[in-house]
Amino acid sequence: MTSSSLEPLLASREIVVFCGSGGVGKTTTAAAAALAAATELGGRVLVLTIDPARRLADALGLEAIGNVERRVPDEALRAVGLEPRGELFAAMLDTKASWDDLVLRHAPDEETAYRVLGNSLYQNITARFVQSHDYIAMERLYDLHTNGRYDLIVVDTPPTRNAIDFLEAPSRMAEFFGGRLLRWLTVPYRLTGRRGARMMNVASRPFYQLADRVLGSQLLQDIAEFFLNFQSMYDGFVARAEAVERLLHDRRTSFAVVTTLEGAPLREAELFVHELGKRHLPLGALVLNRVLPPYLTSAEGQRAATALAERPADVAKALVGVGDATFDDPERTARVLATAAATYRDYSVVATRERELRAELARVPDVLATVPALPDEVHDLAGLARIGRALLATP
Amino acid sequence: MTAPAGAGFLDRRLLFFSGKGGVGKSTVTAATALLAAERGRRVLLVEVDAKGNLTALFEQPPVGFQPREVYPGVFAMQMRTEDALREYLRLQLRVPVLARVGPLARVLDFVASAAPGVREILTVGKVCSEVRESQDGRADWDLVVVDAAATGHIVSQLDSPRAIQELVAVGPVRQQTEWMIELLSDPATTALHVVTTPEEMPVNETIGLVQRARTELTVPFGSVIVNRVLPEPFTRADEPVFDALLGGPARDVLDAEVGSGSGAVLEATRLAVSMRRSRATQLSRLRAVLDVPLVYLPYLFVRDHGLRVTRMVAEHLAAELGL
């Protein structure tokens, strides 16, 4: 039996991860789910967002980027007619600060930590490159969960190249820091001692010969020195990455996949559902976002639009009898009626396509929630509350 | 540096398309390739994010690293960093055997797929080398069209040669980043286009990207392509009539004339009007903030997707660019 409410999910889990392809409204949906949980179900609820729209961030009271959790004031919730039963908190992910925290936590001493933080390679990797974001989002989630301050954490996921990237981030990170590559790169340095390493004569080894030719020995030395410093931490890093991985598999964690009823996002959502199954990760719900209203495909609507399109002049003449001066020009009225009929039919085509795509869904999870299309993008608490009601399937 | 839209649109050799997820970036990229092919160009269409959806826009099965013709004159390929790295080692550094030696091969695969930054440089490197090969007559692409990274990632992707250059002081990699940067910076050769929809988040990201591209990238900026622009249902003069239709007495007449579904028709139109209004606000923001060429593509109320839609988008693009 398929339910249309996220309520059991939000009430029973400690972590709900919202995922889906870019542009489907993941961030807004996650924030709305957290708001609904805090106002309707109670408890201490945190929404961890990655890159919210400015106005959404404002609505949640997140003025500046930073790894600080902020309470959304009850007055702000009451101002839009919500009576909070619990407490709502919001936090934004600061990639750079999270990486630095991680280094500071795992470094054996301050000197090593600051050498790593000051290393240009480290700065390049953490600030510039995409893959580091996927991991750090999961890492931050782990941190927030283990500190035990929240009953429920709702997580927005970073815009990945494809939705499964971040699922693999912890194991990839563990492999990166514990893997062969590091051992290969640092072999010649380990042989000559940990600090002040110099490139020894390893020209006979094809790998170094190649690496040296491609990258130059200076860079190779920078890399090796960076990784040597990192080596003192990598037991901590690997253990941590494995813990993050375990948390994703924990039964207290669940996933909600968000999609619109459009071809490409839906294909990606289905792929994601498939990947979750393959990894034995629980799919808690599928959320269909921005779904056009059902009246666009109703038989009466179709009939009315057809009639209006066929004889707008007759209807316009009938409207003169209403006694409203606005209808005094039947030609103008007929033009407006024909436009309305055409508009209905245009949107009806799209709504029909949505309905077909929905019918074709390969695997329907236990919870299938639908959020209606709203004319405006949502960035205030009132709008979030509206979406939240749709997610809980309450009027 | 701003390159004009319009006539010169297809005359460069390398076009990158970025945009926020969900705005139709791949469709616009595919439509550009189709349009160029229809105008007699031989086009290499590169899919960067391995989603494998791009060829569906031509109703063709997915392609791999080796280009395959998916439409007359359009050859599509999917970027695979492992393959790009192997090709690079083989062609540029002439190390055919090494890459196949057991543990080394594993390390290389790992470097290509997991080491931060490597994916970006290999992607841009492969694309640039296809353009250079064509300029030197060793490959025959008139145009390389790239369905590139989304707005959040495109700067690090296109800036990767410079990032690598900061790290590598000497050697062949250094030299290669030099010609890549030159090629990417040449306004006669390269342009970056950004696809958006007139909605708040995509517009925010577009404005942010245009500003970042100006300060952080040497790649010449082409245009902002505004996709899914909704039609204006009524003129300002006709709007009062629609408002009056929503009133009680008019509704009774409508129900009598066309049946109880008249409410659905009016409701749909009201939704369309308010959607159009909120998007018009975003269009004004784009126009007010950006001084780059804007290209408009209409929302298509169509049932299917695939080649027919790609062709429709290409036709609108041609009309809008005056091609």
The β-bridge partners of B295 are: B225
Domain span holding position A15: 7-292+373-392
On whether both A34 and A175 belong to a single domain, the answer is: yes
Structure tokens at A215: 């990258």
User: Confidence band (pLDDT; 50, 70, 90) for A286?
Assistant: very high
Is the per-residue pLDDT at B50 higher than 50?
Answer: yes
Has residue A317 been placed in a domain?
yes
Q: Please write the tens of the pLDDT for every residue from A153-181.
A: 999 887 665 556 777 777 777 766 665 55
B chain contacts of residue A28, beta-carbon cutoff 8 Å: none
* B26, B233, B264 member nearest A300 (Cβ): B264
* Token pair recorded at residue A77: 């919730």
Query: CB-based contact (8 Å) between A55 and chain B?
Result: yes
Could you tell me the domains of chain B? 6-230+287-321 (3.40.50.300)
- Same domain for A122 and A218? yes
A180 and A89 within one domain = yes
Assigned domain for A365 exists = no
CB-CB neighbours of A249 under 10 Å: 11
- What was the pLDDT predicted at B258? 95
Give the closest-approach CA distance of A81 to chain B in angstroms: 24
Residues A273, A257 contacting (CB under 8 angstroms): yes
Query: Does the structure show a pLDDT above 60 at B125?
Result: yes
In a domain, A90, yes or no: yes
> What is the reported pLDDT for A243?
87
Single-letter amino acid code for the residue at A223: I
- Give chain A positions within 8 Å (CB) of B23: 23
In the sheet that holds B221-229, the strands lie side by side as B68-71, B74-78, B43-47, B143-147, B14-19, B190-196, B221-229, B294-298
Q: B85: nearest CA in chain A?
A: A214
Q: Highest mean pLDDT: which of A96-105, A213-222, A323-332, A346-355?
A: A346-355
Do A326 and A379 fall within a single domain?
A: no
Q: Looking at residue A103, which CATH number applies to its domain?
A: 3.40.50.300
* B chain contacts of residue A326, beta-carbon cutoff 8 Å: 240-241, 243-244
CA distance A127 to A123: 6
The token pair at A302 is: 């179709």
Average pLDDT over chain A reads 83
The shares of helix, strand and coil residues in chain B, as percent rounded to the nearest 5, are: 55, 15, 30
Residue A2 lies in a domain: no
Q: What is the token pair recorded at B32?
A: 């550009």
More confident residue, A262 or B53: A262
Q: Kindly state whether residue A155 falls inside one of the protein's structural domains.
A: yes
For the segment B77-84, the average pLDDT, to the nearest whole number, is 87
Q: For residue A1, is it within any domain? A: no
Asked whether residue A319 falls in the same domain as residue A172, the answer is: no
Same domain for A313 and A206: no
Neighbours of B142 (CB within 10 A): 17
**Are A47 and A161 in the same domain?**
yes
Question: Is pLDDT at B318 greater than 70 in this prediction?
Answer: yes
ipTM here: 0.88
Q: How confident is the model at residue A366 (pLDDT cuts 50, 70, 90)?
A: confident
Q: Which pLDDT band, with edges at 50, 70 and 90, does B171 fall under?
A: confident
CA A181/CA A109 separation, integer angstroms: 25
Note whether B258 contacts A350, CB cutoff 8 Å.
no
Q: Residue A258: phi, psi to the nearest 5?
A: -105, 140
In A, minimum Cα distance to B152 occurs at: A159
Number of domains in chain A: 2
Nearest to B107 among A21, A131, A180 (CB): A180
The shortest C-alpha distance from B195 to chain A (Å) reads: 13
- If asked whether residues A304 and A258 sit together in one domain, one would say no
> Residues 129 to 188 of B: which have CB under 8 A from any A CB?
149-150, 152-153, 156, 159, 163, 166-174
Q: Do A17 and A55 fall within a single domain?
A: yes
With respect to residue A368, please indicate whether it lies within any of the assigned structural domains: no
Same domain flag for A157 and A179: yes
Of all residues in chain A, what percent carry a pLDDT higher than 90?
Answer: 42
Q: Give me the pLDDT at residue A308, please.
A: 96
| B66-70 long-range Cβ contacts below 8 angstroms, 24+ apart | B70/B45
Q: Are residues A259 and A301 in the same domain?
A: no
Does A41 reside within a domain? yes
Query: Would you say A347 and A296 are in contact if contact means Cβ atoms under 8 Å apart?
Result: yes
Contacts of A172 in chain B (CB under 8 A): 114
pTM as predicted: 0.87
A248 and A302 both lie in a single domain? no
